[in-house]
């Protein structure tokens, strides 16, 4: 019997799949994030972590809690984890790849449409009592049909976004990756381009890369200035990949046409952030994977990783090299 700490409340069926194996659970039930000290305190009293959310799993935490047999993340992203330190300390880190690709891509697609048709802005106007009237020239959106989709980081999620855009709006696909994505090239006619070409040619530029030292702050004044004035920028990856003040400036100055964000820095975004009031911006609170089916699959993979780690077996979905 091992002790597992779950950093958020999860459904009873998920807990049962752990208790059925004889493990004992404790759960963080408060409606706020754990502080770093609290996380350490709970982790110290347990053998494994079922880790939900982006609380830092840094070197200090890992060194203090080096007794942990496994840390199973309920996310595909692991930029909040010092994987090198975990590997050095022999702590396996699990994640949940694949199962959230479609839901996350759907969120990018939703944001793209919301920005193109100013849907979220119009909804806010209705709430303010400004339904308006049929004005043939007011507050118009743009068509997406046939526009070029640029993907920065064409992996599993980017590929799902590319498919949706290709099939729904017949959008030509260009992408920037280190290597070729052969399936996208063959199935969707996607074309690999340089980063500058991606910026210059995209009508919609959607970010799907992992956050790393190379990609941090990649979308900034310089890169926005190379984009089309009619372009829509979408980020469902990580908020740290775009420079927020530069994005706002680019929108205000008309360097780009609109932006849709499911990720911000920090999260939550301050409620008085001017981006929230801009008509050409749509913002969601990091709900990329938030469907009933997807979250259930993510939690199931997290359980698989936990059980494997507690048995001392290799994790089925492991991020340590
Ligand atoms: C992920 O799985 O990485 C999502 O962004 C949730 O954090």
Q: Point out the catalytic residue in the list 238, 242, 243, 295.
A: 238
ipTM: 0.95
Residue nearest to atom 7 of ligand 1 (CA): 75
Ligand 1 centroid distance, CA of 221 (Å): 26
Domains in the chain (CATH in brackets) are: 3-98+291-311 (3.40.50.720), 101-283 (3.40.50.720)
On average, the pLDDT of the chain sits at: 97
295 among known catalytic residues: no
Structure tokens that stand for 244 in this block: 């927020």
176 pLDDT above the threshold of 90 = yes
Tens-place pLDDT, residues 119-143: 999 999 999 999 999 999 998 999 9
Q: What is the pLDDT of residue 250?
A: 98
Residues within a 6 A CB radius of ligand 1: 75-77, 100, 288-289
From the CA of 140, how far away is ligand 1's center (Å)? 33
Kindly indicate the confidence band of residue 27, based on its pLDDT and cuts at 50, 70 and 90. very high
Q: How far is the CA of 300 from the centre of ligand 1 (A)?
A: 15
User: In the annotation, is 267 catalytic?
Assistant: yes
pLDDT in tens, 87-102: 999 999 999 999 999 9
CB 81 within 8 A of CB 54: no
**Whether 177 contacts 232, CB under 8 Å:** no
Question: pLDDT-derived band of residue 201, with 50, 70 and 90 as boundaries?
Answer: very high
* Contacts of residue 35, Cβ cutoff 8 Å, sequence gap at least 6: none
CB atoms within 10 A of CB 125: 15
């Amino acid at each position: 019997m091992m002790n597992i700490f779950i950093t958020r409340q999860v459904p009873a069926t998920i807990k049962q799949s752990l208790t059925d194996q004889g493990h004992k659970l404790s759960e963080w039930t408060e409606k706020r994030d754990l502080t770093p000290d609290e996380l350490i305190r709970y982790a110290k009293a347990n053998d494994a972590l079922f880790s939900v959310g982006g609380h830092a799993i840094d070197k200090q935490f890992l060194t203090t809690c080096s007794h942990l047999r496994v840390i199973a993340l309920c996310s595909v992203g692991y930029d909040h984890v010092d994987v090198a330190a975990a590997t050095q300390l022999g702590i396996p880190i699990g994640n949940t790849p694949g199962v959230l690709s479609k839901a996350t891509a759907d969120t990018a697609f939703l944001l793209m449409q919301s920005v193109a048709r100013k849907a979220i802005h119009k909804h806010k106007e209705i709430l303010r009592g400004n339904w308006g009237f049929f004005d043939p020239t007011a507050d118009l959106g743009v068509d997406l049909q046939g526009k070029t989709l640029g993907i920065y980081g064409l992996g599993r999620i980017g590929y799902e976004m590319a498919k949706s855009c290709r099939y729904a709006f017949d959008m030509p696909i260009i992408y920037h990756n280190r290597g070729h994505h052969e399936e996208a090239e063959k199935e969707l006619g996607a074309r690999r381009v340089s980063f500058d070409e991606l910026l210059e040619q995209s009508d919609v530029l959607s970010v799907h890369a992992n956050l790393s030292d190379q990609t941090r702050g990649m979308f900034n004044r310089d890169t926005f200035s190379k984009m089309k004035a009619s372009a829509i920028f979408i980020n469902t990856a990580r908020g740290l990949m775009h420079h927020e003040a530069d994005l706002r400036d680019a929108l205000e100055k008309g360097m780009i046409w609109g932006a849709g964000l499911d990720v911000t820095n920090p999260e939550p975004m301050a409620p008085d952030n001017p981006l929230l009031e801009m008509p050409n911006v749509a913002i969601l609170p990091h709900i990329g994977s938030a469907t009933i089916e997807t979250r259930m699959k993510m939690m199931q993979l997290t359980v698989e990783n936990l059980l494997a780690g507690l048995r001392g077996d290799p994790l089925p979905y492991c991020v340590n090299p």
